[in-house]
Structure 1
Amino acid sequence: MSFKASAGLILILGVILGFLQSCGGDSSQQAQQEKVPEQISYNFDIRPILSDKCLACHGPDANKREAGLRLDIAENAFAALKENPKAHALVAGKPELSQAYLRITSKDTGLLMPPPASNLKLTHHEITLIEKWIKQGAKYEKHWAFVAPRKPGIPEVDLTDWPKNEIDYFILQKQEQKGIQPNEEADRERLLKRLSLDITGLPPTLKMMDDFLADKNSNAYEKMVDQLLKNPAYGEKMAIHWLDLARYADSHGYQDDGYRTQWPWRDWVIHAFNKNMHYDDFVTWQLAGDLLPNSGKEQLLATGFNRNHKITEEGGVIPEEYRIMYVTDRNDLFGKGLLGVTLECAHCHDHKYDPFSQKEYYQMFAFFNNVNEVGIESVIGGPETYAKKPLMEISNQDVKDILSFVNKPDTNRLIVSVMGDLDSTRKTYILKRGVYDAPGEEVQPGTPQSILPFNKNYPKNRLGLSKWLFDKKNPLTSRVYVNILWQEFFGKGIVKTSGDFGMQGELPSHPALLDWLASDFMEHNWDVKRLVKQMVTSATYRQSAVINKEKLATDPDNILLARGPRYRIHAEFIKDLVLSSSGLLNKTIGGPSVKPYQPAGLWEGATSGRGLLSVYNQDHGASLYRRGMYTLIKRTVPPPTMGIFDASNRDLCEVKRSKTNTPLQALVMMNDPAVLEASRVLAAGLLQEKTAANEKIIKAFRLIVCRKPSEKELTLLSAYYDKQLKAMTAAAAEKMTAVGEYPLIKNVDKKALAALMRVVSTIYNLEETITKS
């Protein structure tokens, strides 16, 4: 073989070897290089390993437990082994005598744990952590999320002139530990857009932009925060995450998917946020407003929260089966939405990872099992099907005297499904394998011992459950809501798995900050607006979203928050931004949901052919321009445009929306009649102004992107306008401007309108337009 040929072969082999190594072929070596902490924490170092690799067979679920060994409880792990009484899974200080350690390091595949057949394997780093933990005494800790938060002291930092409030000290401490510094504050235009979208879900007006840019006072930002918090649109924006959590929709779900009138409850949620109802009262009214002393119609309306679940209207179903499904839905919502745990995993058996038994699941179930409802009620048809018993009727007099926040537009009968218990007590049983007709042991109302035992002085009903939820010793309630709000403003929670604070959930990125915020929230009487203001006035929130190569390499997911949040805004707010910037937005708050533009045939192609929602009859006039949150949600065929932008279809409780990027999103922004109509209306308005073309483009850019365009951006857009105006034909202009129902301005130059409309549409299609940065 010639030298050239052999050199070429060596080069090829080298490339292949390098490729294999870059693809993880030497993962064990990489794992060995991971830093082992000086002091091993069970909660933060060991428990995640056990949860991922061991607890499916050696955890809380007695039905799946192998060899009688349980590793998540110290007394079990240290006890003599069932199969070998002289041996122990763990021996404090002695890995060489600990069978658990010996099995995970065994070379014998018949002894190795986890078994090779499980396709699970501990890395060298994980084994090292376990070894060091055993040497340090194998000390167990209660799961961090099940220990009531204690308010930690404010950390010391080097960059003392950066923090604006307490939040920043916790954030900066971690950044300094990793050797990075926070970003500078975002420029005022981008910061105002971020703030306005986060607090109201709407872009700032030109006046707000001009006033904020002109205000040179040191408190200009805080004044703007206060102004936005007083805006009624704040309640609408804050309601969105709660509607997702409460699975609000305008149809019953299932096959017929008939119309329902739960929208007065949505009006109440907006009202409650706007008047800054504190979180403990806000939730208590929704869980048990009907059980409060001197309860009135407003408290009763609030309980619609737990009647938003899917309800069947199909003939031939087994009523008790569906009634059990409704109760299950409420129980699972309580676990995921308010406690942040996967309680539903204990519906059929003991939880495999968290310390929740099936018995405890049905003890919680008992709180919701006494509602005076049936599995199926009435038939498809008139107003009596719009709500299911128990229900309340809202009269015009109620709206005048008590429920002034309910936007009742007509004199028609208005009824809402609410909560109401039986006069007697319905017995609750553990359901074997979760099957509705397989009752086992009878249980009484109760709560998981691992979270907080139920106080015997509390009534054993939903009101007592709410008292338990807001007991200062409850470790989850405050943490979970603080985390959900943090997620709203920073894109991801301090605990990334905001619906799972259990052992399979992510560990908090900043545990001390989470505990400080949770404690502070409780100390200040669960004041939501105060908590929002804390977050948005922090230096952490106000940072520029610009990222350099070093930070991208060190912290690609922005866990350390050394830059501002940057992500696409929610589906509803995309529509709101388009309508608001064009001047089309109908700012009416509350009222029945509306049916805007939608591709033809969607409902008709997926319907039983019965009921009000069998055919899509689009609304007209001002109803077309309502905020996105008022779009009617039919569960079986949810609004397609919002679905493409990851809106919830509200089938179940959802505490975190997914964020996807698909070509369909670009197609929506380019072709949706709502966007094209907004482009036409804004362009027409600009043409009415006696300004130069460049000035019109600058104004459009500011209205949509919320900042002044750069010189390069303006040059490109102006050239595009000139090109379109020159090439535009009368026929093309006529076709392009015939979009949407909003009246066309008379005597307008349609060629100029179409050309400017294309420029405006291009601005709407910029990534920055629908991105919070």
Structure 2
Amino acid sequence: MKYFSPLIILLLFIFVACKQNTSSEISFGEGEQLSYNFHIRPILSDKCFACHGPDANKQEAGLRLDVPETAFAAMKESPGKFAIIPNDIDGSELYHRIVSTDPNELMPPPESNLSLTQEEIGLIKKWIEQGAQYEPHWAFVSPKKAALPKVKDEEWTRNEIDYFTLAKMNKLGLDPNDQAEKHELLKRVSLDLTGLPPTPEMISAFEKDNSPEAYEKALDKIMNLPTFGEKMAVLWMDISRYSDSYGYQDDNIRTQWPYRDWVIHAFNKNIPYDQFITWQLAGDMLPNATKEQILATAFNRNHKYTEEGGVIPEEYRVEYVLDKSNTFSKGILGITMECAQCHDHKYDPISQQNFYEMFAFFNNTPEKGYEGDVSQSKPAKTPILWIEREDINELLTFINHQDTSKLMVSVMEELDTLRTTYILNRGLYDARTTPVSPGTPESIFSFPDNLPKNRLGLAQWTVDKNNPLTARVFVNLMWQEIFGIGIVKSTGDFGMQGDLPSHPELLDWLAVDFMENDWDIKRLLKKIMTSATYMQSSKVTKKHLNTDPDNVYLARSPRLRLPAENIRDLVLASSGLLVPEIGGPSVKPYQPEGLWEAATSGRGELKTYKQDQGEKLYRRGLYTFIKLTSPPPMPIIFDGSNRDQCEVNRGRTNTPLQALVMMNDPLVMEASRVLASQLTEKESDPETAIEEAFKRILCRAPNPKEMEILSGYFEDELSRFSKDQESADALLRMGEYPIKEEKITPDTAAMMQVILAMYNLEEAITKI
């Protein structure tokens, strides 16, 4: 036979592949030492810790594999045998179980629907042969500044960040992209720091400035705009689960918005992060606490409240304390401590006792689980901070309050006598067991003896430079804000089940540098944004897609769709509709009829949706009124948080609904109409008007092909509306912003359609 048939070749291929995959031998470099944290722990955590991890109630066969003391000990149910014997693969029962062909012996057991790959088996084998060395979980070890790695092209680097990113690229055989065009850089910086597009005038001035300091000057100028605080506040509103209503069935109005004004102010003032956190956790407990420091503690009180009759007050009071504890652990520590509410954590070394010791810090307030009849609903719940007009005139000048009435904000306060905290069996409010005192998990960082065991002590523990999590978690959040994905992808989970850092040495370097420089948030952002890594083009090559499709190693700048609030902001700003007022009460813009009414008890001030009028329709997305039982639809469609719990990251989906919003949303239509009216009045030449609209919306000049397409579309629409004046009239009356009667023309309608098409370009709402 001169050749093999295709079938024989296919069978031979399958046979060879299967033959190769039956071996557990993995090719390692000469003398390469495996890391427990980065090679072994992820395998054991995924496949073994559910039954052989820290949760004592779920341990099978009395075997615990997450710590060496028990992993190396004699097996309780198999006398004379050991799960792991360092350097002895034959004597290690763990290895024999994971390679067994007997379903009664195989681990993980077949009924668990878990299995190890041949590569994972090979890693465990090699690790045992190398001595089965355990390491503390990387995130629970204080960060240290590593020496900058060696790279192939030092000339490319602009600061320390680039050494770490370039070293990873070199290892993967990737080369970084060239620097982005100047208009791309300015758009990127402006969107990242303010959530608003740069104006054509800003772009023109930046492109004409050829000095070496041009980029840094532009960055500093934008960072010092008051809109910086608004952009940063969007993330913190998600973390602090800010909303304008109480949630649950009645879901009445609340007045927590002065807290939002404070957050904007804090970011603009560049309050150091350690102080920013301390005030929010325990500002009321500081010596001679000011009203500003007390207002910051509203962070803890943004959770849902019930106003329904017939509830058990203690049940909901406990629920509120649980929410505070979980928001703290997830948003600030990046740890899923809520898993230990009902039982010991299955993966992390955090016991149920640890959870309630942390819970105890928040369990000593006079807050109530229920405050009377819903007909007497108050915009704030006990304890309350009263803000007078004189406070706003003298101390709290950042609060945007136009009338003379007092403001009420839910804040923190301590009881005169300590409330006893108990471990709750299965997390049930009335199943009290052992009393506990306030404390923190030793696996993270032992609570120092010299700190008070109250919220102020907890705040000091949190921002102690020996705490391994706080700086890492915030630095990672900022990295996620800029690059779309954190160095640790699982932003809210730095525990055993969380993702490993893509650049661990860089994360630690940034965390230490952040603390060494007084927790300066603006300095941290500037460090990231002056790196060559940040300044790269977003051009994607085939090699990028094949080697690093998710852009984990940053050989290009990411293309990211804007957050929901900033899509609205871009439309408002580019059209000239944006009202730049900072702070103040939330507003109710356009919304489809019937949404609120379908999700309400029919009681209270929010039983029906009352759309605002005038300038309130054109406020930034940050200020859109959020009703918990019926969050605003446009932000939700674009992956905004519904704010019913702490969120540290948002998804970025791509759905047909988003396209429908951009094509049909009243605000986008109105913005297109207003901009069209302005430009056709200002410019007699349609092409000049189209070019200016393009610069406003896409932040660059159109190329000849784009101009040809848009001009042709204008002519087509002009011809259509010239024959159908009624359609032009109906289109140009979209929205409530007034239009001059003489501007209701086919020319304006045609230009409106062209601008609407620009808003619907992918590039328009994308940071490139």
CA deviation vs aligned residue, 1:588-624 (integer Å, no higher than 9, x gap): 0000000000000111111100011110000000000
Matched ranges for 1:171-186 at <5 A: 171-186=165-180
Alpha-carbon spacing, 1:30–1:415, altered in 2? closer, same or farther (3 Å)? farther
Partner of 1:581: 574
Contact kept in structure 2, 1:541 and 1:565, CA below 8 Å: no
Counterpart code for 1:493: G
CA distance in 1, matches of 2:23, 2:168: 24
Q: Partner residue of 2:215?
A: 221
Paired position in structure 2 for 1:682: 675
Deviation at 1:395, TM superposition (A): 1.1
1:481 lines up with 2:481 in the alignment: no
- Which of 458, 464, 475 is the equivalent residue of 1:471? 464
Partner in structure 1 of residue 60 of structure 2? 66
Distance 2:375 2:627 in 1: 17
Asked whether the 8 Å contact 2:365–2:412 carries over to 1, the reply is yes
- Which residue of the partner structure matches residue 202 of structure 2? 208
Superposed displacement of residue 262, structure 1: 0.1
Superposition deviation, residue 659 in structure 1:
1.2
Counterpart for residue 102 of structure 1: 96
Task: Give the whole-Å Cα distance in 1 for the aligned partners of 2:759 and 2:157.
Answer: 36
**Residue of structure 1 equivalent to 2:740:** 745
- Change in Cα spacing, 1:681 to 1:361, as seen in structure 2 (3 Å) is same
Structure 1 residues 572 and 26, CA gap change in structure 2 (3 angstroms) = farther
Specify the SS of the correspondent of 1:440.
Answer: strand
SS of corresponding position for 1:393: strand
Shift of 1:750: 1.4
State the partner residue of 1:357: 351
Equivalent position of 2:501 in the other structure = 508
Mapped partners of 2:292, 2:255: distance in 1: 16
Work out whether residues 379 and 385 of structure 1, in 8 Å CA contact, stay in contact via their aligned partners in 2.
no
Q: Secondary structure at the match of 1:562?
A: coil
In the TM superposition, residue 378 of structure 1 has moved relative to its aligned partner by 2.9
Describe the shift of the 1:345–1:17 C-alpha distance in structure 2 as closer, same or farther (beyond 3 A).
farther
Matched, 1:768 2:763: yes
Residue deviations 1:220-262 (CA, integer Å, cap 9, x gap): 1101100011100000000110100000000000000010000
Partner of 1:306: 300
Give, in whole Å, the separation in 2 of the partners of 1:33 and 1:256. 60
Aligned to 1:385, the other structure's residue is in SS state coil
Please tell me whether the aligned partners of residues 646 and 660 of structure 1 are also in contact (alpha carbons under 8 angstroms): yes
Task: For 2:229, give the aligned amino acid.
Answer: G
Distance across 1 between alignment mates of 2:712 and 2:37: 60
Deviation at 1:413, TM superposition (A): 3.0
1:52 aligns with 2:52: no
Change in CA separation of 1:14 and 1:683 when aligned onto 2, cut-off 3 Å:
farther
1:516-560 CA-partner distances (Å, limit 9, x unpaired)? 000000000100000010111111011111111111101111111
Aligned: 1:712 with 2:725: no
Which residue is 1:87 aligned to? Answer: 81
Choose from 274, 280, 289 the match for 2:283.
Answer: 289
> CA 1:704–1:129 in structure 2 vs 1: closer, same or farther (change >3 Å)?
same
1:410 match: 403
User: Given that residues 366 and 415 in structure 2 are in contact (C-alpha distance below 8 angstroms), is that contact kept between their aligned partners in structure 1?
Assistant: yes
Is the 1:571–1:647 contact (alpha carbons within 8 Å) kept by the matching residues of 2? yes
Residue of structure 2 equivalent to 1:755: 750
**Deviation at 1:404?**
0.3
**1:21-60 alignment, distance < 5 Å:** 28=21, 38-60=32-54
Query: Which piece of structure 1 moves more, 659-668 or 407-416?
Result: 407-416
Q: Structure 2 vs 1, CA of residues 612 and 13 (structure 1 numbering), >3 Å: closer, same or farther?
A: farther
AA aligned to 1:455 is P
Q: Please show how residues 145-544 of structure 1 align to structure 2 within 5 Å.
A: 145-381=139-375, 385-544=378-537
Shift of 1:84: 2.4
- The CA distance in 2 between the partners of 1:542 and 1:679, in whole Å, is 32
SS of 1:747's equivalent? Answer: helix
Q: CA deviation at 1:693?
A: 1.1
Q: How far 1:83 sits from its partner (Å)?
A: 1.5
| Secondary structure of residue in 2 paired with 1:282 | helix
The 2-side partners of 1:195 and 1:237 are apart by 12
Could you list the runs of 5+ residues in structure 2 that have no partner in the other structure? none
Whole-angstrom distance in 2 between the partners of 1:81 and 1:659: 47
1-side partners of 2:25 and 2:128: how far apart? 19
TM-aligned CA deviation for residue 745 of structure 1 = 2.3
Once superposed, which parts of structure 1, at least 4 consecutive aligned residues long, lie more than 2 Å away? 10-18, 24-37, 378-382
Distance in 2 between residues matched to 1:235 and 1:312, nearest whole Å: 31
Any residues of structure 2 matched to 1:522-671 within 5 Å, and which? 522-671=515-664
Displacement after TM superposition at 1:692 (Å): 1.4
Deviations, residues 449-476 of structure 1 (Å, cap 9, x unaligned):
1001111110010000011011111100
Match of 2:685 in 1: 692
Q: Which amino acid aligns with 1:622?
A: E
Q: Which moved more, 1:36-45 or 1:674-683?
A: 36-45
- Give the CA deviation at 1:154: 1.3
SS in 1 for 2:60: coil
Aligned residue type for 2:760: N
Summarize the alignment of residues 13-28 of structure 1 with structure 2, pairs less than 5 Å apart.
28=21
- Does structure 2 conserve the Cα–Cα contact (< 8 Å) formed by 1:306 and 1:419? yes
**Number of equivalent positions:** 764
Contact 1:378 1:385 in 2 (8 A): no
CA RMSD of aligned residues (A): 1.9
Structure-2 change in CA distance of 1:128 and 1:707 (3 Å): same
Distance 1:34 1:628, change over 3 A: farther
- Residue type of the alignment partner of 2:245: S
State the Cα distance separating 1:746 from its structure 2 match. Answer: 3.6
Further displaced range: 113-122 or 593-602: 113-122
CA distance in 2: counterparts of 1:433 and 1:599, whole angstroms: 42
Which residue matches 1:735?
Answer: 730
The 3-state SS of whatever aligns with 1:392 is strand
The secondary structure found in structure 1 opposite 2:682 is coil
Distance in 2, matches of 1:334 and 1:609, equals 34
% identical equivalent positions: 58
TM-score under structure 2 length normalisation: 0.97
Q: 1:34 to 1:674 in 2, by over 3 A?
A: farther
Matching residue's letter, 1:238: M
8 Å contact from structure 2 (residues 683, 689) kept in 1: no
Distance 1:385 1:548, change over 3 A: same
* Alpha-carbon contact 1:34-1:125 (below 8 Å) kept: no
The separation in 2 between residues aligned to 1:47 and 1:218, in whole angstroms, is: 47
Is the CA contact 2:26–2:122 (under 8 Å) kept in the aligned structure 1? no
TM-score by structure 1 length? 0.97
